[in-house]
Chain A
Amino acid sequence: MLKGNFIDNLPKVYGIYTGGFLGFIIIMSIAEQMGMTAKTIGICFVAFTVAIYAIIGYLSRTAQADAYYVAGRQVPTVFNGMATAADWMSGASFVAMAGGIYFKGYGYMALLVGWTGGYVLVASLLAPYLRKFGCYTVPDFIGTRYGGNLSRFMAVVVLTVASFTYVTAQINATGTIASVALDIPFQYAVYVGLISILLCSMLGGMRGVTWTQVAQYIVLIIAYLLPVFWISNKMGAGFFPHFMLADEVSRIAELEAQFGFVKNSAENLKEVPKGLAGITKAHSAVNATPWAFISLALAMMMGTASLPHVMMRYFTTPSVKAARKSVGWSLFFIFLLYSSAPMLATLSKLSLIDPSLPTGIIGKSITEVQAIDWYQNWNQANLMFVSDFNGNGTLELNEFFMGGKAVVLATPEIAGLPYVISGLVAAGGMAAAMSTADGLILAIANAISHDVYYKIIDPKAETAKRLVVARVLLVVIGFAGATIAALEIQGILGSVIWAFDFAMSGLFFPLVLGVWWKRANKEGAIAGMFLGLVSGAAYLIWVRTGGSGFLGITQLTFGIFGSAVSLVSMVVVSLMTSEPNAATQRMVDEVRVPSGRSIIGKQ
């Protein structure tokens, strides 16, 4: 059917795939017209897409170290961009981001700026140089640049702490979606999610993950954009919402002024189910201090540049040049979703609070609202709640509560879109959570199998044995993550943001200075990683146990403190100890030139 090798045929393969997926959506919508139940549609969407990923994972199986660790270093820029975007955008981004914007407004937007601005640091400071280095993993770079098993081991520790914090949240998300879509208890659904994740990565390693992530990106971006455009058109807000919602944004500001933000008493709030929130912050006004905004954005940017599961995606490109361009494509594909989230938040909010719209519920009588079909559905799902606090029989702005997930999950239904869209959204959320979980589990397992097992414990191990170890670790780490996710320790799982802070505390400066400061040495790097991680973690514990914090650094931005300690200790210790030997200095010079052989030769 296809001539030439797989790489040359990629546009064709994924073109057919995209067409097939769109065809599947159309078949489902016809089936819905013919009376297929909502439940069956949901099952079909999740089962069909997961089956496709599993097939791709199986077809990508490999027995070569180069293919397993870095996908053979032949992933073209645009496709690597899509894979990185899927790797990057987690279940939380997909399901919760629009909700965060909806409830918190400007203060939350710092995350959008941070999670995109970080890629400028990736492109200019790190990715091309680490690609030239030719390493398999991030600790591989640290271990070779600075030398010694201790520095390598410290890097593995930081990587594991940061990535593991993140991965439990992702497995939790796949479990949540699987349990809703397949109608099974969460405790089992978590393991269904885990098995789906492992199907993508176990046989093919990085190669399998790359090609499934591209497939997952296509599903998740269609699942996000289609409803946004559809809702906007249906509401008559404009056929291209991104450029046309100014009137809607100012209308929301007008309504906010008209209703006012009435503060509820603590007693009234006790009635509200846990996890739901009301609209208490202005939609488009600046509601955070400059430092609160900037510190959060800065922490996310530096964290982005230090998260190993993102960095290792750029090890798979064919060249240094391609690595740079690929970062641009990654951010472009991320931008498509991130720039749509605020539009969805705007449409969702206006459709609910504007009394002049048919879907608006504020100002209606409470009993009328309670009789609406979609209200009953989402109230039952514990994502919506109304209560007549002031007893006037009418729903006020401060009497309406919603869960953050509802913005993405419920808005299509509120706007009157067919159920097929809800099935599509479930498939998109599943794709987003799976792709990120795969990248993270692989990052941890690869670091332990390559850097701890192969480089430190048994440097003579054969490829076959190394890959067995890598796969066993993948399963073990996956199960550990799923087991913790099944415990449902909320608060710990919710804090994806912590992963960024941990990563930046321990890895940002050791990575950046490894390229940009020749004088940085082993002792400095070890001190930087160790003291950075420990001081960041200590600050977090201090603030969590009632500490007041300083300089406005909160539990969400503790990485700013950790990385500052890391920088100072790395510079001081490096200068106090002897400079790196001539071979290391030559190595740094080599890294700075794109052409020529990579530092770590083909193994």
Chain B
Amino acid sequence: MSKQEQHWEKSKGLLIMTLAIWFVFSIGIFLFGAEMNEVTGPFGYPLTYWFTCQGSLGIFVVLIFWFANRQEKIDEEFGFSERGDD
């Protein structure tokens, strides 16, 4: 397998992981919205309510930065990172 193919395999792996986490917090948990709302979540808000106000939104922010860093590492590993700064 060429270097480029390996790089793409790893990038795909990261994509699948990212989308899996995304799926859980944008769709998965809301399948059980009514049940989860009985539980008290962070700061004392009902749990599902908290996810819709802050939880899922905040997790998406962190997820994107995590993804960007991991992808940068993969690019560096195969020598595909860009020269110069951002």
Contact = CB atoms under 8 A, between A and B. Distances in A.
A14 B54 CA distance: 28
Interface stretch (A269-277, A368-376, A425-433, A592-600): A592-600
A576 to B, nearest CB: 26
A297 B27 contact: yes
Given A246-B44, A285-B37, A123 B61 contact: no
Interface string B10-47: 01000100110010011100111110010000011110
A222 to B, nearest CB: 20
State the majority secondary structure of interface residues on A.
helix
Contact of A319 (B30, B33, B56, B82): B82
Contact of B60 (A77, A117, A242): A117
A116 B57 contact: yes
A581 B14 CA distance: 28
A328 B41 CA distance: 25
Interface residues of B, number: 47
Contacts of B26: 113-114, 117, 120, 297-298, 301
B86 A290 contact: no
Contacts of B43: 242-244, 246
A246 B50 CA distance: 10
Interface in B50-68: 51-54, 56-58, 60-61, 63-65, 67-68
A414 B45 CA distance: 25
Nearest to B19: A124
State the majority secondary structure of interface residues on B.
helix
A537 interface: no
A479 to B, nearest CB: 37
A109 interface: yes
Contacts of B18: 120, 124
A116 B4 contact: no
Contacts of B8: 592
Interface in B65-81: 65, 67-68, 71-72, 75, 79-81
Contact of A332 (B15, B61, B79): B61
Given A125-B15, A297-B27, A331 B60 contact: yes
Contacts of B51: 113
A293 B29 CA distance: 11
Interface stretch (A64-72, A334-342, A526-534, A550-558): A334-342
Interface in A210-224: none
A284 interface: yes
A249 B46 contact: yes
Contacts of A297: 26-27, 30
Interface residues of A, number: 57
A325 B68 contact: yes
A110 B49 CA distance: 11
A290 B31 contact: yes
A551 B45 CA distance: 32
A594 B82 CA distance: 7
A125 B54 CA distance: 24
Contacts of B72: 321, 324
B80 A120 contact: no
A247 B33 CA distance: 21
Interface string A83-126: 00000000000000000000000100110111011011101110
A284 B19 contact: no
A290 B58 contact: no
A284 B45 contact: yes
A242 B54 contact: yes
Nearest to A77: B86
Nearest to B64: A328
A117 B22 contact: yes
Contacts of A294: 27, 30-31
A321 B67 contact: no
A119 B31 contact: no
A363 interface: no
A190 interface: no
Nearest to A338: B57
Contact of A322 (B7, B45, B79, B86): B86
Given A297-B27, A592-B8, A324 B81 contact: no
Contact of A593 (B7, B30, B46, B61): B7
A595 B80 CA distance: 5
Contacts of B33: 106, 286, 288, 290, 293
B41 to A, nearest CB: 9
A360 interface: no
A249 B68 contact: no
B61 A331 contact: yes
A286 B34 contact: yes
Given A106-B49, A120-B64, A124-B67, A335 B75 contact: no
A322 B72 CA distance: 10
A318 B84 contact: yes
A494 interface: no
Nearest to B68: A324
A320 B11 CA distance: 14
A112 B53 contact: yes
Contact of B58 (A128, A319, A339, A595): A339
Interface of A: 76-77, 106, 109-110, 112-114, 116-117, 119-121, 123-125, 128, 242-247, 249-250, 284-286, 288, 290, 293-294, 297-298, 301, 317-322, 324-325, 327-328, 331-332, 335, 338-339, 342-343, 589, 592-595
Interface of B: 4, 7-8, 11, 15, 18-19, 22, 25-27, 30-34, 37, 43-46, 48-49, 51-54, 56-58, 60-61, 63-65, 67-68, 71-72, 75, 79-84, 86
A-B interface, 7 closest residue pairs, ranked by CB to CB distance from nearest? A246-B44, A109-B52, A322-B86, A117-B26, A324-B68, A328-B64, A342-B53
21 contacts: A106-B48, A109-B53, A110-B52, A114-B26, A117-B25, A119-B60, A120-B22, A120-B67, A247-B44, A249-B49, A285-B37, A286-B33, A294-B30, A319-B82, A320-B82, A321-B86, A324-B72, A328-B68, A339-B58, A594-B75, A595-B80
